[in-house]
């Protein structure tokens, strides 16, 4: 089940503190863990409490809406191990609320906020030896909401599955400096009235072609433009974008075509805390090319500086390194997430060490 590049060594003893993993070799790839969480419910009812089961393949009807019509949502969040051996999770309530918003858009039945957070806690507890040592990575948690019941026509599923699995991960992008982005002026990630503003499974496979073409040309990722005008930036394949000029930090608005990222929201707040003016507004390609600094945010990428942007034949280089705002914001955020500084925001949820 594990890819050939997986850092998994051998099965550990159940009472070991850590799984037998080469933590220094972690990338952003699946390392299969021990357990996952599964709950089901009928359309219009509430989810059962669910249960922790061994991680593995699931059985699903070929006539399910997730397979035929893409009726599915996913989330992504992380658990961290602190130096004093606590395990903490970053803002799971925000992912729960975003899943509820997505479920309303796709006519699905979501778990309650309390159920979502408790299920995440149970999943992490069951797999606590897979939470990397401090500074060696994180446990990436992937909740799924799937239209798993049987229906042949285009309609909401009669049954839903709420599933959570996880994997220890390292950096999403291995480059040490900054990202080199290509602006895609032909393909679009989302359009007004569509599902770009929710974390629908259907949003991601359409961007793969653009991403592969960009990577084959030596770029790190793709930046998409709005479908309405083709003049404003929106987001990358899997993260939000910010620009800095003077004391003003600008990011495109979450007006239906851009995913409201949890990291995006957190970074906006931290930037305001240290005196920057943060604006959520349309940002044109011209403004992007004239910015002093550009950076991306997301659960997987955290905060990552952009070194260059290429639009047609125009390549622009930006400030990166220790003097960059992105470096300071990355440090501020990760210090909270890893328990290095006091969490005055109330963002972190601690797993009870007496459980599990």
**Tens-place pLDDT, residues 5-14:** 445 544 444 4
Report domain extents, the chain.
Answer: 23-169, 179-338
Average pLDDT over residues 212-220: 96
pLDDT, mean over the chain: 93
Looking at domain 179-338, what is its CATH homologous superfamily?
D-amino Acid Aminotransferase, subunit A, domain 2 (3.20.10.10)
| pLDDT at 333 exceeding the cut of 90 | yes
Please name the residue that has the structure tokens 């440090």: 331
**Any alpha helices (H) in 85-242, and if so which ranges?**
92-105, 113-126, 208-216
Give the pairing of strands 233-236 and 221-225: antiparallel
Residue that wins the pLDDT comparison between 297 and 15: 297
Catalytic residue among 78, 129, 199, 304: 199
pLDDT of residue 281: 97
pLDDT digits (tens, 9 = 90+) for 49-89: 899 999 999 999 999 999 999 999 999 999 999 999 999 99
Instruction: Kindly give the pairing relationship between strand 77-81 and strand 87-90.
Output: antiparallel
> What is the per-residue DSSP string for 145-181?
EEE-S--SSSS--SEEEEEEEEEEE--S---SS-EEE
pLDDT at 7 (0 to 100): 53
Give the pLDDT confidence score for residue 353 in this predicted structure.
59
Let me know: does 61 contact 150? Beta carbons within 8 Å: yes
Structure tokens at 122: 């149970």
Give residue 295's pLDDT: 98
Please provide the CATH number assigned to the domain covering 23-169. 3.30.470.10
Instruction: Please indicate whether residue 17 is annotated as part of the active site.
Output: no
Provide long-range contacts, Cβ within 8 A and 24+ apart, for 309-316: 309/180, 309/181, 309/182, 309/183, 309/223, 310/180, 310/181, 310/182, 310/183, 310/219, 311/183, 311/185, 311/285, 312/183, 312/185, 314/289, 316/289
Distance CA 343, CA 347 (A): 7
**Which of 97, 90, 89, 126 is CA-nearest to residue 114?**
97
Tens-place pLDDT, residues 98-137: 999 999 999 999 999 999 999 999 999 999 999 999 999 9
Q: What is the pLDDT of residue 11?
A: 43
């Amino acid at each position: 089940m594990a890819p050939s590049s997986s850092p998994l060594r051998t099965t550990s003893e159940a009472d070991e503190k850590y799984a037998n993993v080469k933590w220094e070799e972690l990338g952003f790839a699946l390392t299969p863990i021990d357990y996952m969480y599964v709950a089901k419910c009928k359309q219009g009812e509430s989810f059962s409490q669910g249960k922790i089961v061994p991680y593995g393949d699931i059985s699903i009807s070929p006539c399910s809406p997730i397979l035929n019509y893409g009726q599915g949502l996913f989330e992504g969040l992380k658990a961290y191990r602190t130096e004093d051996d606590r395990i903490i999770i970053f803002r799971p309530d925000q992912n729960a609320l975003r899943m509820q918003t997505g479920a309303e858009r796709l006519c699905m039945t979501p778990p309650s906020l309390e159920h979502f957070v408790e299920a995440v806690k149970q999943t992490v507890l069951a797999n606590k030896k897979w939470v990397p040592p401090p500074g060696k990575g994180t446990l990436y948690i992937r909740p799924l909401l799937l239209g798993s019941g049987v229906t042949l026509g285009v309609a909401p599923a009669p049954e839903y599955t709420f599933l959570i699995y996880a994997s220890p991960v390292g950096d999403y992008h291995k480059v040490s400096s900054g990202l080199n982005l290509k602006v895609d002026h032909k393909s679009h990630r989302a359009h007004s009235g569509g599902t770009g503003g929710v974390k629908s499974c259907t949003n991601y496979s359409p961007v793969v072609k653009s991403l592969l073409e960009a990577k084959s040309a030596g770029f790190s990722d793709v930046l998409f433009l709005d479908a309405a005008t083709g003049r404003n930036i929106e987001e990358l394949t899997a993260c939000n974008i910010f620009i800095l000029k003077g004391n003003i930090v600008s990011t495109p608005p979450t007006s239906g075509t851009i995913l409201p990222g949890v990291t995006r929201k957190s970074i906006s707040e931290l930037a305001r805390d240290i005196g920057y003016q943060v604006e959520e507004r349309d940002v044109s390609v011209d403004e992007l090319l004239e910015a002093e600094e550009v950076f991306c945010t997301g659960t997987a990428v955290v905060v990552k500086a952009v070194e260059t942007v290429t639009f047609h034949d125009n390549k622009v280089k930006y400030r990166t390194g220790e003097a960059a705002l992105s470096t300071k914001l990355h440090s501020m955020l990760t210090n909270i997430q890893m328990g290095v500084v006091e969490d005055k925001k109330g963002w972190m949820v601690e797993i009870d060490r007496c459980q599990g």
